[in-house]
Chain A
């Protein structure tokens, strides 16, 4: 900790860089003494004259490898050794945007085995959990392979590291759309298991919404499916009434089905009643009731009471917002 803090504070001024040398990494890979690369002349980075901005104290290894990358890119070389070089660069700088495009082009030109590419991508993604380019590349490869085989298993490993990893969930949605997995029992069972493990995982709730929303395409479908689509969220809310994710899901489904908020009034009353402020089990139920009462003939005072309870007792962190909502109701009253 102290050492990293020190490196944050004590930095090398530009003019002294040549005096200090970077520690040598024993495993570092160099190209200048590699016979396989002797025909290539590296293109060093040109950082201008005296005043580069946001310059980085590169390691010798990175500087040299980048010089060779620029050289093979300049020649449009598509070869096995260039492929390995992209791997080396990615291990040090996975956010290099053209190295991924270059790699995809090499794979195509040398007709590489794309299954092997996936085998390499798996550990690479685990090393760089927050990297975006890896997922874009994976999408290109899996699209070309034409099969989602093995992908669910890999996603499970990634989500073990971070169950709310945005890139991974986005990729899962792409898989569902690309291979039409909406009605697969496996997909629904999987998402329910994710919610069981952490009922507050909003990414999982969002994915469930994505799978289910298509079922409410027509009035007939709403009449037939609504109960089924909403009962799981109701079950989850009864478990943890103060968890906003399933409330949002539930209200979203009702809105998507073009039904009024009052559809959920009875359910909300299980958790809150403005007449009994000492028996409130969920601020989100109060919020929903405020919406319902605002739309209901002659219930404006109840709506205001719900918002007042939120501002003063049950959700004071958002007091300004609830007061704003209340002022809107008062404005309406004046206008009427």
Chain B
């Protein structure tokens, strides 16, 4: 065997051909009926599919002009007369839709955010988007505490959750449709940006993470959405105060929390053993800790899990990322952790090499895409976010991405070049 071959076999690599096949399949064939629980998330899945092909550099080749226009039309069919988009045709009441029943078929924040991203990705000019109406609607989705809901219900009551996912998507819609202008634009009022920032700060946790709501547990998904939202409304912390309300309250602590998300707990078996076992063995402890000394064994079970473990366990070839303290690594958290680090300008406090190897060697699937855990089947969410991370790390051959918006730089530049937007932002 030539020496080079052995080396090649060792090297972790992205299986382009398989990923492209995986995403084309998602684009051109029916998702199996097991996806019925995602029927109202079709716009989100569609955005992942289109954007993934774009990141892989295959979007142009994958679509004929007719298909491209057909998809654009499908997205516009989900736009509502009063502005905003529904997230799928599932709620479309058709010809009998009226003022009396439209609360069951309302504009939806995720539907709107991802519809705009798909249109941008497909090269549409957003001229058919009811932009003023959408922005007007967006301000009504904001709650008194500054957070955003998902839809407007009866008597315009804000419905749905109240966590940073919605603040993130609201900030995204605002940025796409009116850039970073503060205050009324074209007679349409702005959201209360200060209130959004304060709402995010209120969900900072005692350990430096961010959570769903004040005093809930720190969670990387919410941390990422919160920090992306601050980025999109240009309110990330800066070293010199500029008189505006800015997050975060304790940046050093947040960096520490984000760095703590690197873990060696990569398999279900590693994660399952902590119950009623308080030893610090590598079976219960998560970050190559078994080279710590142990004074005594608290329980028999603890003793059993500690003996036979190597005292030095510094196997750092593969490093995963988890979403919460003492949890197992999961492909999507690589995105939810690396995104805030990147936006805060500190992606270099984690070592990308072993994280990349973990994605490529452990969660990449042979049919293309990524699973949540090693050995899991791929699904669109994990497959898309895995690609996003690799692009963020500069994987050769992948298009570069805008981390917060989840689209390629190419697509973002298309949006920024649109005449109506340049005019609005006085860029001409």
Contacts and interface: CB of A to CB of B under 8 A. Distances in A.
A152 B274 CA distance: 24
Given A56-B31, A97-B151, A245-B325, A240 B40 contact: no
Contacts of A243: 278, 280, 285, 326
A46 B73 CA distance: 13
Given A9-B367, A98-B105, A315-B287, A53 B206 contact: no
Interface residues of B, number: 102
Contacts of A280: 292-293
A8 interface: yes
B31 A43 contact: no
Contacts of B192: none
Contacts of B43: 53-54
B93 interface: yes
A53 B35 CA distance: 13
Interface in A52-68: 52-59, 62, 66
Contact of B215 (A5, A210, A321): A210
A51 B67 contact: yes
B161 interface: yes
Interface in A249-277: 249, 251-253, 255-256
A14 B108 contact: no
B336 to A, nearest CB: 13
A53 B34 CA distance: 16
Interface residues of A, number: 92
Contacts of B288: 315-317
A239 B278 contact: yes
A7 interface: yes
Given A132-B161, A319-B351, A164 B327 contact: yes
Interface in A286-335: 313-321, 324
Contacts of A102: 104
Interface stretch (A72-80, A112-120, A142-150, A218-226): A72-80
Contacts of A151: none
Nearest to A22: B33
B92 interface: yes
A92 interface: yes
Given A281-B293, A282-B292, A317-B287, A48 B96 contact: no
A324 B259 CA distance: 11
A57 B276 CA distance: 44
A244 B67 CA distance: 52
Interface stretch (B130-138, B216-224, B386-394, B413-421): B216-224
B107 to A, nearest CB: 12
Interface of A: 4-5, 7-9, 11-14, 17, 22, 43, 45-59, 62, 66, 70, 73-76, 92-98, 101-102, 105, 132, 136, 163-164, 166, 169-170, 173, 197-203, 206, 209-210, 213, 239-245, 248-249, 251-253, 255-256, 279-283, 313-321, 324
Given A46-B94, A73-B104, A321-B350, 4 more contacts: A11-B31, A49-B70, A74-B93, A320-B259
21 contacts: A4-B377, A5-B367, A7-B32, A8-B377, A51-B67, A53-B74, A92-B36, A93-B37, A93-B40, A164-B327, A169-B217, A197-B276, A206-B218, A239-B298, A244-B326, A248-B206, A314-B292, A315-B287, A315-B288, A317-B263, A318-B350
